[in-house]
Structure 1
């Protein structure tokens, strides 16, 4: 709970955010050999229940932060799946990136988490929506409007 100027509101406890991130970290583990579509299905199911429980909280910025962090974790998993330079090159070209950028990214020797930020242009929000990932903030606003 928090106290504003004119009212008292509900917020998420820091431990709650840590718990959901740890659970999502397990679901997006790099060591799991799982298709992205299966990961997204399990993430959607988990977050659907989680947002239903915590939708009373009046902190949309926390939900946006978790959603952005989750997309970065998923980009990291995709980059790990595209293990070889040849595969990375082919997949990035298929996403429509310029050849010069693709060449630099495919041959990069940075770690998975570090490269996930550079993949943001190729694997953007529209890409994840097309893959079936449901937006946490959209769900939050839809549930809040229903009240």
Structure 2
């Protein structure tokens, strides 16, 4: 019989969302951040926030810090990809990159790049132009902070219920 590795729980009991629940969540976010999706960026971010807040509130008692961190990074890259596609022309891309503080040479090189949207979404220049802070400023919720707030609230309710 093969040996199954496990981690020490240090006397704590925990739970986590199932693999299929995580996959459904990712699929739903992927559909919401589709490159061909029409609509205002604010509406798209609002629908993403609705889904993520609901999912995190439902699974707030679970141990999923690493999954949420990975999903946050993946979601931010998906949004960069979507924005990059919406800036259709080289001229528009160049102007937007310059507007967000990228140097002339870097902006020209990235704007004229023939690489795909997903590949360009991980470039350092695009990360500086569309930083995580800028995405948060545009309305995207920080999933890590949302998870901490939900877990704190659920711990507080549980302690109050058990009269701690």
**TM-score of the pair, normalised by structure 1:** 0.94
- Equivalent pair of 1:55/1:143 in contact (CA under 8 Å): yes
The alpha-carbon deviation at position 8 of structure 1 amounts to 2.5
Distance between the aligned counterparts of 2:131 and 2:21, measured in 1?
A: 27
* Deviation of the 1:51 alpha carbon: 0.7
Provide runs of 4+ in structure 1 moved above 6 Å. Answer: none
Q: What CA distance in whole angstroms lies between the structure 2 residues aligned with 1:37 and 1:86?
A: 24
RMSD: 1.3
Q: Is 1:4 the counterpart of 2:9 in the alignment?
A: yes
CA distance in 1, matches of 2:76, 2:28: 14
Deviations, residues 66-106 of structure 1 (Å, cap 9, x unaligned): 11111111111000000100000000000001111111100
Structure number with larger C-alpha Rg = 2
Report the alpha carbon displacement of residue 36 of structure 1 after superposing the two structures with TM: 1.2
Equivalent residue number for residue 39 of structure 2? 34
Structure 2 distance, partners of 1:134, 1:93, is 26
Q: Equivalent of 1:25, from 27, 30, 52?
A: 30
Q: TM-score, normalised by structure 2?
A: 0.84
Uncovered stretches (5+) of structure 2, i.e. residues with no partner = 1-6, 156-164
